[in-house]
Structure 1
């Protein structure tokens, strides 16, 4: 893929909000009125037209997140707003809404010795015999308490992503470059009212699993249902049929992250044993 600075035609179909998305045959325009307009073309090129005076660091985050997520969708990859680590020769994904701890969980696994495959943008290839996860960016965006809980002394030297944003930026060391079979998707959730028995992994119905995976995709987030083609819905169905989907419920406390790690390790092992049986 190529990323370049250039002039992009401002979409006439602007919405009232801060972000406008226009879906065309071979091009998707995303316009942020405060920062930039970007054109994602044919799954190969991203052209960035910054707003004068906009912070380059914010634009880089938009391109690496939203821009890349949409570009991979153009390449017919199911692209989730998720992180993933390698456990027992397979990819384990952590998906969820903002603030659910995707980056925190992946960072904690990394500190336990598990390779990070990607953060924020998770691309799944369903053209192979089983769904495969392609390694991506490993640049974490962490709240200060999450950075302190997962990175220990390394957190002291981290800088904020950009002025006015309390999150800290951390780039994980080099990781795998080849794809991994997708072993499990954990949909992250919290339960601070009933802490007994946490963490736990709830098993959603096939319909709910399908809906939750779809809701956590970049495609639905940007293109809505009318902009998504049949291949996408077929691919999500294939993923849900062949890969376990679990709702991982835990306490909203970064200090308890190691408890979550031990639970996931055990859950993944048991899932693999069941498959062998």
Structure 2
């Protein structure tokens, strides 16, 4: 068994998961691991009744089944157990094809079962480690391909530690304030994004290329401790037909030709958060009410802003400076 730590959990896995924080058996808390990932048989066709059913998933009771062509099937039970039945033996490339799904959608659903509010986003700690400031995370949400990981990694390069990439797992403390639970000390970048960053840093090391993504080590100053969530930025990508910048529908052209930050209306905040949540896609009838309450609590306790990005390296420093100024950070 491989033993890992992520999202405040101890995870025992029969499958090696690269890029995660490892721990030894004697580091485990009393009572054993919180989650076990094992190999076994998974047969969703035997389920007689499903609460929610989709093209490659179904929910029944405390169980969620997922399956992917040419990869395999997974059963996630009660936020405690994951059974994996791969299509092929886990040797070489077959294993690597499976890993992104275990670390991505499977982990997201397991965290939701454990009571986390799970959003598709990335986060960094905007308090640099060489200061005495209290840690505070900022998160980035947006549609796939809008630059959540790219934005986070550029801030990481500037000295702001990574908290999580791709999976934003949130719980609320005793005062009702949201905290982010750190995920894996690596980030997944497209080849284009990695090539853009690698020439400007010596702290970003590629681990593996999986499913078309470069898994990069981002463990520098990574801390497994939960971090208070200070702000959320909803990323919008900008393009137009003239110079390669796309203008979002309904926006004024002159107002978004450069990277910038603006406040969203409260109702828009809530809609965006729900749209980016795991429960909105999978647990449609079962936990939507609870998910809505959690999203509303998040909006009431965190400032949510709109971040318009122009994706070229020349504009990256503008983005970094805009975020720092918005948070009142002086270099």
- What's the TM-score bracket when you normalise by the shorter of the two chains? 0.7 to 0.9
Aligned counterparts, 1:111-190, within 5 A: 111-129=157-175, 130-152=177-199, 158=206, 161-162=209-210, 165-174=211-220, 175-190=222-237
The size of the alignment, in residue pairs, is: 266
Which residue of the partner structure matches residue 242 of structure 1? 301
**1:7/1:48 contact within 8 Å kept:** yes
Instruction: Go from structure 1 to structure 2 and tell me whether the alpha carbon gap of 1:178 and 1:157 turns closer, same or farther (over 3 Å shift).
Output: closer
- Residues in 1 aligned to 2:232 and 2:269: alpha-carbon distance in whole angstroms: 10
Which residue of the partner structure matches residue 73 of structure 2? 37
- Residues in 2 aligned to 1:172 and 1:256: alpha-carbon distance in whole angstroms: 22
Q: Which one has a bigger Cα radius of gyration? A: 2
Instruction: Go from structure 1 to structure 2 and tell me whether the alpha carbon gap of 1:45 and 1:239 turns closer, same or farther (over 3 Å shift).
Output: same
Instruction: Go from structure 1 to structure 2 and tell me whether the alpha carbon gap of 1:168 and 1:255 turns closer, same or farther (over 3 Å shift).
Output: farther
TM-score scaled by length of structure 2: 0.73
- Residues in 2 aligned to 1:160 and 1:256: alpha-carbon distance in whole angstroms: 28
**1:192/1:252 contact within 8 Å kept:** no
CA deviation vs aligned residue, 1:226-277 (integer Å, no higher than 9, x gap): 232432211110001110111110213244222211110111228xxxxxxx
Which residue of the partner structure matches residue 25 of structure 1? 61
- Residues in 1 aligned to 2:81 and 2:314: alpha-carbon distance in whole angstroms: 41
Which residue of the partner structure matches residue 84 of structure 2? 48
- Residues in 2 aligned to 1:158 and 1:71: alpha-carbon distance in whole angstroms: 27
Which residue of the partner structure matches residue 70 of structure 1? 109
Which residue of the partner structure matches residue 10 of structure 1? 44
**1:76/1:232 contact within 8 Å kept:** no
Unaligned 5+ runs, structure 1: 271-277
RMSD: 2.6
**1:146/1:254 contact within 8 Å kept:** no
**2:124/2:160 contact within 8 Å kept:** yes
Q: Please state whether the residue corresponding to 1:22 is helix, strand or coil.
A: strand
Which residue of the partner structure matches residue 14 of structure 2? none
Instruction: Go from structure 1 to structure 2 and tell me whether the alpha carbon gap of 1:125 and 1:136 turns closer, same or farther (over 3 Å shift).
Output: same
- Residues in 2 aligned to 1:254 and 1:26: alpha-carbon distance in whole angstroms: 46
Unaligned 5+ runs, structure 2: 1-34, 128-134, 241-252
Per the TM alignment, residue 139 of structure 1 is displaced from its structure 2 partner at its CA by 2.4
- Residues in 2 aligned to 1:155 and 1:145: alpha-carbon distance in whole angstroms: 18
- Residues in 1 aligned to 2:317 and 2:87: alpha-carbon distance in whole angstroms: 42
Matched, 1:79 2:125: no
The correspondence for 2:270, drawn from 198, 206, 210, is 210
Q: Please state whether the residue corresponding to 1:55 is helix, strand or coil.
A: helix
